[in-house]
Structure 1
Amino acid sequence: MRRVLVTAGANGIGLVMAQAFAAQGDRVWVTDVDAAMIAALPAGIRGSVSDASSEAGMQILFDEIAAAWGGLDVLCANAGIKGPTAAIEDMDLEAWHQCLGVNLDGAMLAAKFGAKMMKPARAGCIIFTSSTSGLYGTPYRAPYVAAKWGVIGLMKTVAMELGPHGIRANAICPGSVNGPRIDRVIEAEAAAKGMSADAVRQGYASGTAMKRLSDPEDVAALALYLASDGARMISGQALAVDGMTYNVDP
């Protein structure tokens, strides 16, 4: 029975990941900043209210995990926010810093404390949630893109550092995934471009070879595989779950 932590795991992709691991019989612990969502977690999934971008908060979280479980086998560094949608000449610096704080600082802090817990066991798997925006960029999403490119660079460095200790690190790069977050992204982009939300959504779908958006379950399935023994020699990779996107400006 593996011990699994999913940051930002009380809703969206994170919750589907958590449920997928729990369905396999793993012990699952999730964090989120939303206390109501933590309180509403399904039976069998443990939760803590925690800010992924707070070093003090993450220290408390990992101390609690160490006391309760004595170690950690799988870390899904999933915390992220969409950040502002704006042309670069209109970008607000405070909003830029906030986006990088959650998406990139949060990933670093999860890896920092996860590594400390996994290294003594000389085993473990760290799965970062990046984005296809971290592979090629997305117009009007500069801070999010910068953060997700950073997550991939962080992942590759972590994989190099921790590989000799038996720990693997990879990044999942979802494309547009059905759910509340993409709804908000589409609404903001539609407003920025003067288009309808339906037109933007159709543009996202038509820009993929599969002509559809992904589902959270598609992302969770890859997380399960990367955490499995079948992926024991897969490390340092950024893997897209996007139906093969080829048009990034719908």
Structure 2
Amino acid sequence: MSRVLVTAGASGIGFAMGQAFAAAGYDVWVTDVDEAALDACPPAWTARQVDVSDDDQMRGLFEQIASAGGVDVVCANAGIAGPTALVEDVAWHDWQTCLNVTLGGAFLTAKYAAPLMKARGAGALILTSSTAGVFGYPNRAPYAAAKWGVIGLMKTLAMELGPHGIRANAICPGAVEGPRMEGVLTREAVAKGMTRDDVYAGYAAGTSMRTFVRAEDIANMAVFLGSDGAARVSGQVISVDGHTENPDPKP
């Protein structure tokens, strides 16, 4: 049975990824910092409480995975929204925290996954970036910088690991329905002096399909990228966002 690891896999996009890979027949491992959410994961999954920005914890996680027989697909999905503020109002600590989790976590995931995949001569790394990794986003400097960095990391991984039969790609979700996006909408409404509904409408109007996307849409793309059907797909930035045209929502 093939094995997948999904970081931040106990809720949201990560949980949807776990469900989709399980449905495709994978042995699912997930990490998260939320112990209660991990406890609520399906009993067939292997759930571990891990901070992806902690080098020792990540090393220990991959030692466990190696002992279990290795891993075929790794979804480096963990990330945090960071502050919503003008750049001059962003605290240095908030900048560092966002970069450490969102970009640093992806780096540590790839760092420890790569040797296991090299030993097998195959594997797929799927990094969750964002449309914020393609456009500049007002009031979201740490998040946008981190997500741009995720794409740069992915491109490098594709070049370094391709000769070993390992593929690397990035998925860029747009606005995803759910609690996390609700928090973003609320904060942006405050920062811009708008209502939550106006910010929501602005995001939707900024896509050609006039819609948010679902976590399941992202998960389905991840399963494809991990499959043999994507055997020659590597180094790609793939948006699942209903075609975002305008990253700065306006009423």
TM-score, structure 2 length as denominator? 0.98
Quick one: which amino acid aligns to residue 12 of structure 1? G
Deviation at 1:64?
1.1
- 1:20 partner amino acid: A
For residues 82 and 204 of structure 1, the distance between their equivalents in structure 2, rounded to whole angstroms, comes to 16
Query: Take 1:27 and 1:240, find their aligned partners in 2: how far apart are those partners?
Result: 26
Aligned pair count reads 249
The amino acid of 2:85's aligned partner reads A
Output the CA distance in 2 between the equivalents of 1:120 and 1:57: 22
Q: Which runs of 5+ in 2 are unaligned?
A: none
DSSP 3-state at the match of 2:134: helix
SS in 2 for 1:110: helix
Residue 129 of structure 1 corresponds to which residue in structure 2?
128
- Structure 1 gaps, min length 5: none
Aligned to 2:14: 14
Shift of the alpha carbon at 1:91? Answer: 1.2
State how 1:60-71 maps to structure 2 within 5 Å: 60-67=60-67, 69-71=68-70
Q: Percent of aligned positions with the same letter in both sequences?
A: 59
1:156 aligns with 2:155: yes
CA distance in structure 2 between the partners assigned to 1:237 and 1:32 by the alignment: 26
1 CA distance for matches of 2:247 and 2:4? 33
In the TM superposition, what whole-angstrom CA distance separates every residue of 1:65-94 from its partner, at most 9, and x where no partner exists?
A: 111x21110000000000000001111111
| Distance in 1 separating the partners of 2:60 and 2:187 | 35
Match of 1:183 in 2: 182
> 1:221: which partner in 2?
220
AA aligned opposite 2:53: S
Counterparts in 2 of 1:12-51, with a 5 A limit?
Answer: 12-51=12-51
- Root-mean-square deviation (CA), in Å? 0.6
Partner in structure 2 of residue 231 of structure 1: 230
Matched residue type, 1:24: A
Per the alignment, in what secondary structure is the counterpart of residue 38 of structure 2? helix
Moved beyond 6 Å, runs of 4+: none
Indicate the SS of the match to 1:136.
coil
Amino acid at match of 2:66: A
Paired residues of 1:8 and 1:14 also in contact (CA < 8 A)? yes
Does 1:73 find its partner at 2:72?
yes
Superposed displacement of residue 138, structure 1 = 0.9
Q: Normalized against structure 1, the TM-score is what? A: 0.98
